Copies of this chain bind each other. A is one copy, B any other.
Amino acid sequence: MQVKPLGDRVLVKLVEEQERTQSGIYIPDTAKDKPQTGLIVAVGDGEDIKVKEGQRVLFAKFAGTEIKIGNEEHLILSTDDILAVVED
């Protein structure tokens, strides 16, 4: 079974806290607008999408729509809500 995002949306698998800390990005508890990281697992067919599968991305915490696929938490996000790509 596959979830194919429409238009400018992407499907992001949420990344564990631990993983984030190892990468050196730390989101302070007092941050006014806490971002979150995830792994892109599918992208829509919109022309303006500049991210691709496999990239780790940073996005605003309250963006998107949560779904679980199997047991794993995912978000469907508009590409506009992705703030940055994180490379190791």
Contact = CB atoms under 8 A, between A and B. Distances in A.
**Residues of A contacting B: mostly:** strand
Contact of A83 (B6, B28, B35, B68): B6
A31 B5 CA distance: 18
Total copies of the chain? 7
B87 A4 contact: yes
A17 interface: no
Interface residues of A, number: 43
Interface in A28-85: 28, 31-35, 45, 50-51, 58, 60, 62, 64-70, 73, 76, 80, 82-85
A46 to B, nearest CB: 10
A6 B66 contact: no
Interface of A: 1-7, 9, 11, 23-28, 31-35, 45, 50-51, 58, 60, 62, 64-70, 73, 76, 80, 82-88
